[in-house]
Amino acid sequence: MSGVTPRARTVRTRSTMRDVAAAAGVSLATVSRVLSGDRSTEDEIAVRVRTAAADLDFRPNPSAQGLRRAVSAVGVVVPDLANPYFAEVLQGINAAAEWAGQRMLVADAREDAEEEVRLIGDLARWTAGIILCSPRMSARTLNQVAASFDRPLVTVNRPARGRPAVLIDFADGIRVICAHLRGLGHEHVAYLGGPATSWSDAARRRALRAEQRGGLRIDLVDCGSSIPDGHAATDAAVATGATALVAFSDNVALGVLMRAGELGLRIPEDISLTGFDDIPVSSIAGPGLTTMTVDKPALGRTAHQLLAEDTARRVHEHSSLVVRGSTGPAPRR
One domain, residues 244 and 288: yes
Structural domain harbouring 160? 73-168+297-318
Residue 276 lies in a domain: yes
- pLDDT average, residue stretch 106-130: 94
Note the pLDDT of residue 180.
98
Q: Which of the 8 DSSP states describes residue 243?
A: S
One domain, residues 288 and 191: yes
One domain, residues 290 and 191: yes
One domain, residues 287 and 199: yes
Strands 217-222 and 188-193: parallel
CB-based contacts of 174: which residues, under 8 Å, 6+ apart? 204, 207, 208, 211, 246
CB-based contacts of 316: which residues, under 8 Å, 6+ apart? 167, 168, 169
- Count of domains observed in the chain: 3
One domain, residues 77 and 51: no
Residue 130 lies in a domain: yes
Residue 24 lies in a domain: yes
Residue 325 lies in a domain: no
pLDDT in tens, 126-176: 898 999 999 999 999 999 999 999 889 999 999 999 999 999 999 999 999
Helix (H) or strand (E) holding 156: strand 153-156
One domain, residues 54 and 197: no
Residue 326 lies in a domain: no
Nearest to 201 by CA among 189, 193, 191: 193
Residue 235 lies in a domain: yes
Among 49, 66, 83, the domain boundary falls at: 66
pLDDT in tens, 247-292: 999 999 999 999 999 999 999 999 999 999 999 999 998 899 999 9
Assign 62 a pLDDT band (cuts: 50, 70, 90): very low
One domain, residues 205 and 62: no
Which of these ranges, 61-65, 205-209, 269-273, has the smallest mean pLDDT? 61-65
Assign 69 a pLDDT band (cuts: 50, 70, 90): very low
One domain, residues 46 and 146: no
Q: Give the CA angle between residues 103, 109, 114 to the nearest 5°.
A: 125
3-state class of 21 per DSSP?
helix
DSSP letters spanning 95-127: HHHHHTT-EEEEEE-TT-HHHHHHHHHHHHTT-
| Residue 245 contacts residue 231 (beta carbons within 8 Å) | no
Measured CA to CA, the distance from residue 56 to residue 230 in angstroms comes to 62
Whether residue 71 is predicted with pLDDT greater than 70 in this model: the reply is no
CB-based contacts of 214: which residues, under 8 Å, 6+ apart? none
Residue 332 lies in a domain: no
One domain, residues 96 and 163: yes
One domain, residues 288 and 211: yes
The whole-model pTM stands at: 0.76
Q: Which of the 8 DSSP states describes residue 290?
A: B
- pLDDT average, residue stretch 113-134: 94
CATH of the domain at 43: 1.10.260
CATH of the domain at 138: 3.40.50.2300
In this prediction, what percent of the chain has a pLDDT beyond 70?
A: 89
DSSP letters spanning 41-110: S-HHHHHHHHHHHHHTT----HHHHHHHHHT-EEEEEES-TT-HHHHHHHHHHHHHHHHTT-EEEEEE-T
One domain, residues 60 and 162: no
CB-based contacts of 7: which residues, under 8 Å, 6+ apart? none
One domain, residues 134 and 205: no
| Residue 203 contacts residue 171 (beta carbons within 8 Å) | yes
Residue 122 lies in a domain: yes
Q: Torsion angle, CA of 67/312/318/103, rounded to 10 degrees?
A: 0
